[in-house]
A and B are shown apart, each in its own frame.
Chain A
Amino acid sequence: MDNVITTILTKPAFDVEKVRNDFPVLKTKAHGKPLIYFDNAATSQKPQVVIDKLVDYYSNYNANIHRGVHYLSQKASIEFDVVRSIVQKFINAASEREIIFVRGTTEGINLVASTYGRQNVKAGDEIIVTAMEHHSNIVPWQMLCEEKGATLKVIPMNDNGEVIMEEYKKLLSPKTKLVSVVHTSNSLGTINPVKDIIRLAHEKNIPVFVDAAQGIVHSTIDVQDLDCDFLSFSGHKVFSPTGIGVLYGKAELLEAMPPYQGGGEMISSVKFEKTTYNEIPYKFEAGTPNIADVIGMGAGLDYFSSIDQKGAHAHEKALLKYAEDKLAAIEGVRLIGTAKEKASVVSFVIDGLNAMDVGMYLDTLGIAVRTGQHCTEPVMDRFCIPGTIRASFLFYNTFAEIDALTEGVKKAIKLLKG
């Protein structure tokens, strides 16, 4: 407990109990025990303000947006449109026109692969990703490469789970048409030197896509400072509803790209002879959008902006250090992912034990962790392991919860080793 005391004495107090009250689900019981939610890298919990916003929309102004002349539609349109500006400010984009609403990070990546990729990648070209990508940032590019006869190149990582920048520099070539990198690894916690990766690519006029699915909640994302060309994130990992996310793209790139899907909203004029397309961002938003969840995401991002983010990130960092130290001290536990720059994600294996068995035992104690490959099979192959137990923390988690986790792990070892 010394760590806790030091933290309290040296860090500006971040009021965990206060923010915990914002999240009703944290009062839930799991198998009759108080819930300890450590599956935040899979999805964050939702604050009451987001839940209220969704209920308010459906209860009081549910209507299809834009072009509706009636009161409800206008109210819904205003609430919807303001979210684009909330997102713009949240990631510091230069313009609202650069914000496209998508279902999530996966759709953001697929959109760029299907439009920018199809337009610009040809036979013999190369696309670069890192060895720690989520399957979502591998498969769309593989599909594009297969279609075009291009090749996917992989920046290797070291035993700590850090990309090897020297190898990256060697991979950049006139054949490279795009670099797509994960900001923060979901299975290792590694925060990549994205700014350097982008700078090096830009020296050779290669655009860079950033998968910020995890990064969005653990770091402050400023797309102009990063100078990334594309960036995508999912609302549900940042206190917002599922089924909604954001694709950011530099305006000049988005303007030059062909549309993604055809339908309503994305058109300017439809004639049987020839259809002309709407301006960005609408060109990429065919059909009735996910109105409720866009509005919910506005509330989620506003909530996150309203709390002390620096304090939140510092608290998460302290939780990470505390958990890593306590888990590593248990005999047989090995941490997977020991990068210098890490988000609050702890992946570990236990000698001789199956990760799922341990996860299921922790579940009986009310502790929610994730086990398996975390949609990063190549990462597991790299470390020659079938899967890990992953505990991921957000600012509403506590040191006492980590104590419960480490005690649970010790008991799991005792029980499962028989």
Chain B
Amino acid sequence: MSIEELEKSIVEDFELFDEWAERYQYIIELGQKLPPLDDKYKVDENKIKGCQSSVWLHAYSENGKVFFEADSDSTFVKGEIALLINVLSGQDPKDIVDTDLKFIDAIGLRQHIAVTRANGLASMIKQMKLYALALNSKQSA
């Protein structure tokens, strides 16, 4: 599925919830289900340090697609990671670089960027795009 289709499906899932409490709990569930990241990738060079939580992000490419694995000490951030991985992992690097990730606004997460600013949702997206950009230029070279 394309990034856009995957985003659409997340937005549809979130439309089932009326309250922020339900969205919070759903994101926590996603975080709890996120496959663990191998300890060998939990190194400083993969770490995005925030004031409230840290993220470890590992990226690799296979058959021209970019794949992400990540972990955090915050379950909520892990839930956010799960959403991002769902949308971006396995995609074409150029598509990752170009996407606006509109679903973040659509599911009401933007209001929490103010908090997550400190724990790195924005830095995490930036880092995912940087990996994609690096892999993209490697492929074009």
Contacts and interface: CB of A to CB of B under 8 A. Distances in A.
Interface of A: 31-32, 354-357, 360-361, 364-365, 371-373, 386-387, 415-416, 418
Interface of B: 19-21, 24-25, 28, 32, 51-54, 73-77, 112, 115, 118-119
The 3 nearest A-B residue pairs measured at CB: A364-B21, A354-B74, A356-B52
B25 A415 contact: yes
A357 B51 contact: no
Given A354-B52, A357-B28, A360-B115, 7 more contacts: A354-B75, A356-B74, A356-B115, A386-B53, A387-B51, A415-B25, A415-B28
B24 A361 contact: yes
Given A356-B53, A386-B73, A31 B21 contact: yes
A68 to B, nearest CB: 40
Contact of A31 (B20, B53, B118): B20
B24 A360 contact: yes
Which one of A360, A364, A416 has the greatest number of beta carbons of chain B within 10 Å? Answer: A360
Nearest to B75: A357
29 contacts: A31-B19, A31-B21, A32-B19, A354-B73, A354-B75, A354-B76, A354-B77, A356-B52, A356-B53, A356-B77, A356-B115, A357-B75, A357-B76, A360-B76, A360-B115, A361-B28, A364-B20, A364-B21, A364-B25, A372-B52, A372-B118, A386-B73, A387-B51, A387-B52, A415-B25, A415-B28, A416-B28, A416-B75, A418-B32
Contacts of B24: 360-361, 364
A357 B74 contact: yes
Contacts of A354: 52-53, 73-77
A364 B32 CA distance: 19
Contacts of B25: 364, 415
A387 B73 CA distance: 12
A364 B115 CA distance: 14
Contacts of B51: 372-373, 387
A386 B73 CA distance: 10
Nearest to A30: B20
Contacts of B20: 31, 364
Nearest to B79: A357
B106 to A, nearest CB: 19
Given A31-B20, A364-B21, A386-B73, A355 B52 contact: yes
Contacts of A364: 19-21, 24-25
A364 to B, nearest CB: 4
Contacts of A361: 24, 28
A257 B53 CA distance: 43
Contacts of B119: 356
A357 B31 CA distance: 11
A365 B32 CA distance: 21
B9 to A, nearest CB: 24
A398 B115 CA distance: 27
Contacts of A416: 28, 75
Contacts of B112: 360
A356 B53 CA distance: 8
Contacts of A355: 52
A372 B28 CA distance: 19
A416 B76 CA distance: 9
B21 A371 contact: no
Contacts of B75: 354, 357, 416
Nearest to B73: A354
Given A372-B52, A387-B52, A356 B76 contact: yes
Nearest to B33: A418
A372 B78 CA distance: 17
A361 B23 CA distance: 11
B113 to A, nearest CB: 13
B126 to A, nearest CB: 20
A35 to B, nearest CB: 14
A31 B51 CA distance: 25
Contacts of A372: 51-52, 118
A364 B24 CA distance: 8
A290 B87 CA distance: 49
A377 to B, nearest CB: 9
Contacts of A418: 32
Contacts of A373: 51
B88 to A, nearest CB: 23
A387 B20 CA distance: 24
Nearest to B74: A354
B124 to A, nearest CB: 15
A386 B32 CA distance: 20
